[in-house]
């Protein structure tokens, strides 16, 4: 199913506004988005559902601008939108003091190739900018200095259990624990090195 929703034929239909295809996408992906958000942001499932649905609403409105020709995967694009939607919700929650539904104003749409350039998910709806904690900036630099494999295992472990990763990668739990442990050690070294410089 994952291959199907990323297939050229299916993506063309979704981008073209085919309602049935969007329905398939919604049914397949939204529950997974909710689970992802709940896991990554440690949110109650009800809040994660709210954010996942908001994200799919953004997808519905912005998908006509999704550009698969640059190698972007539809599912990755959608997950990025969901992640950013969650970040926006939490930032606004911090400023308002409680979790509230964020009314969806008309989207200021930007081409999805902005995502490819690493600047956004291509859907900017008044992103709330707040100052970054120094440790977050240092952590980002530390992460960027690691290999792709190290980054992958560290980020996967934030949302998945070892057993889940092992099943997908066809690896043993023991191997994954070792990989994670070593990646964490390298991350610590890079982070502390950044602290000293």
Partner 1 sequence: MNDEELLRILRFTVCSDIAPELTDQAVDEFISASPESSPEHLRRLTAKFVEKVFASIHGEPVKDLQQKWTFGRWFEAMRESVRLTRKEIATALNQDPSFVERLEAGDVVPWAFSARDIGDLVCLFRVHMNAVSDLISNSIAVSQLPGLGPVAARSQGGRISEARGHSAKRALDLYLARKAGPAKPDQTVTDWMSALRSDLKRRGAKHLL
Q: Interface residues with partner 1 (CB under 8 A)?
A: 2, 19, 23, 26-27, 29-32, 34-36, 40-42, 49-50, 52-54, 56-57, 73, 75-76, 79-80, 83-84, 86-87, 90-91, 103-104, 115, 118, 127, 129-130, 132-133, 135-137, 139-140, 143-144, 148, 151-152, 154-156, 158-160, 164-165, 167-169, 184, 187-188, 191-192
Residue closer to partner 1 (CB basis): 136 or 174: 136
Residue closer to partner 1 (CB basis): 109 or 143: 143
- As a whole number of angstroms, the distance between CA 101 and CA 93 comes to 9
Least separation in angstroms between residue 107's CB and partner 1 is 10
Least separation in angstroms between residue 97's CB and partner 1 is 19
Residue closer to partner 1 (CB basis): 65 or 194: 194
Residue closer to partner 1 (CB basis): 66 or 80: 80
Q: CA gyration radius for the chain?
A: 18
- As a whole number of angstroms, the distance between CA 87 and CA 190 comes to 25
**Cβ-contact 136, 126 below 8 angstroms:** no
Burial class (CB in 10 A: 0-12, 13-18, 19+), 48: buried
Q: How many alpha carbons fall within 13 Å on the CB side of residue 58? A: 31
Q: Could you tell me which of 92, 82, 88, 73 has the C-alpha nearest to residue 38?
A: 82
Residue closer to partner 1 (CB basis): 65 or 116: 116
Q: Cα dist. 160→18, 79, 167 in Å?
A: 33, 15, 11
- As a whole number of angstroms, the distance between CA 11 and CA 128 comes to 30
- As a whole number of angstroms, the distance between CA 95 and CA 79 comes to 25
Least separation in angstroms between residue 156's CB and partner 1 is 6
Least separation in angstroms between residue 164's CB and partner 1 is 4
Least separation in angstroms between residue 150's CB and partner 1 is 12
Least separation in angstroms between residue 173's CB and partner 1 is 13
Residue closer to partner 1 (CB basis): 12 or 76: 76
């Amino acid at each position: 199913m994952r291959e199907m929703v990323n297939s050229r034929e299916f993506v063309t239909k979704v981008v073209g506004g085919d309602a049935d295809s969007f329905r398939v996408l919604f049914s397949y992906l939204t529950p997974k988005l909710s689970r992802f958000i709940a896991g990554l942001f440690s949110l109650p499932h009800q809040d994660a559902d709210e954010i996942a649905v908001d994200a799919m609403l953004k997808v519905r409105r912005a998908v006509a601008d999704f550009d698969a020709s640059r190698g972007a995967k539809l599912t990755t694009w959608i997950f990025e939108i969901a992640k950013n939607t969650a970040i926006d919700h939490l930032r606004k929650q911090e400023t308002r003091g409680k979790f509230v539904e964020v009314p969806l104003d008309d989207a200021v749409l930007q081409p999805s190739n902005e995502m490819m350039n690493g600047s956004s998910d291509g859907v900017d709806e008044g992103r709330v900018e707040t100052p970054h904690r120094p440790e977050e900036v240092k952590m980002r630099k530390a992460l960027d200095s690691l290999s792709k494999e190290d980054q992958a295992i560290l980020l996967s472990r934030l949302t998945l259990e070892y057993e889940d990763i092992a099943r997908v990668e066809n690896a043993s739990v023991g191997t994954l624990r070792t990989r994670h442990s070593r990646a964490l050690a390298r991350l610590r070294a890079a982070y502390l090195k950044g602290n000293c410089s």
